Amino acid sequence: MMQKGKTNNVEKERMMSSNPFFEVVRQPLKTMWTDPELASHMAYGAEVEIPVGRDALINGETGKVVGVVAPKYKFVHNSDLAEKIDWMVRDLPVIEMNDHLDSRGSRWVRDIMLDGNDYTLDMTGAGDIVKTKLRFFNSYDGKSSAGWSISAWRKICSNGMMGWRSIFSKRLAHLSEDVLERFHKMFVEKHLLFSNELDRMKVMTKIPFSKTQYEVFVLNQDLPDRTMSKLIGYYDTAMNKWNEDETRWGVYNVLTAYATHETKARGGSNIFSAGYQQVEAVVSNFLDWNPTAEQYEEAKEKAIERLNTINA
């Protein structure tokens, strides 16, 4: 048992890697090459360092490599972006802010939830409140970029909920000198689009959607059998726990509740896990799913075939 007041190396590394504002150390990458001519005259060979034209981005706290970039790559530090975000939302009614970091420390997400009449909607008229969620993200992996999105968010527990799919999103490459200023300019221009999307969401509360329809939809998704079975079994649990109606809005909340509570990551935040992203894709498919009567009958036949395969 670990003594009180002491932290073992594994726990210490976990705590350090959970800090999104760690110092980034940038070092040129080199490879070692053995010169065959020199090696023939030396008992242990002759190794020569050769630059490979790439830089490593290293977590200064853990020593882990978080990304590999070109020498001209102008990465944006999380702390610089966080300062810009704070300034951008300084006059907005922020009620909650959460930071997420993946297990490598290479990708960071900040979720900001807004309150107030301009940023909320009572979906059913009975206190089913949806609020605005701003998501800002940044990466050190040399592949992804910085950016932000506007979506909606409904909190039903301490874990929160996965929000409505992006109403607007923008990614910015790290190659621009003015990436932070461009970031801010687009935020000012686009964040007012949210009110139009809220009206579209509210329509979902009026469209009936049964458990059978839910099962047909899920069984037509490209999912592993185990995940599919879990999603089908989760329907009654979520509907009863959160007192949902059998509408498209209720089914949407079943899916987002599953993403929030039933997906886990081996390290870092669950929003970076394969399970979360898998369900996120299913949610997006659901929002676009509007089959004709003929298409629905075809989907039912496909669902029966898939269910027979799972139960075989």
In the chain, the domains with their CATH numbers are: 9-69 (no CATH), 78-204 (3.90.1150), 207-311 (no CATH)
pLDDT tens for residues 28-74?
Answer: 998 887 766 665 665 555 677 888 899 999 999 889 999 999 888 88
- Per 3-state DSSP, the chain is made up of helix, strand and coil in percentages (nearest 5) of 40, 25, 35
Rounded to an integer, the average pLDDT of 94-122 is: 88
User: Can you give the C-alpha Rg of the chain in angstroms?
Assistant: 24
Those residues whose C-beta lies under 8 Å from the C-beta of residue 133, and which sit 6 or more positions away, are 111, 112, 113, 114, 150, 151, 152, 153, 163
Higher pLDDT, 176 or 255: 255
Q: What is the C-alpha separation between 138 and 85, in angstroms, rounded?
A: 12
Contact assessment for residue 196 and residue 279, using Cβ atoms and an 8 Å cutoff: no
Model confidence at 12, pLDDT cuts 50, 70, 90, reads: very low
Reading the block at residue 92, the tokens are 């907005």
Interacting residues of 35 by C-beta distance below 8 A, sequence separation 6+: 45, 46, 47, 48
Q: Distance between CA 182 and CA 175 in Å, rounded?
A: 12
pTM over 0.85: no
Mean residue pLDDT of the chain comes to 82
| Beta carbons of 151 and 135 less than 8 angstroms apart | yes
Identify which of 153, 149, 123 has the alpha carbon closest to the alpha carbon of residue 134.
149
pLDDT tens per residue across span 161-208? 666 566 667 777 665 556 667 767 776 666 556 666 777 778 889 999
Token match 């959970």: residue?
Answer: 18
CA dist 9 to 24, 56, 181, 185, Å? 21, 24, 40, 43
As a whole number of angstroms, the distance between CA 283 and CA 207 comes to 17
Q: What is the pairing mode between strands 47-59 and 65-69?
A: antiparallel
d(CA 219, CA 300): 9
The answer on pLDDT for 11 being more than 50 is no
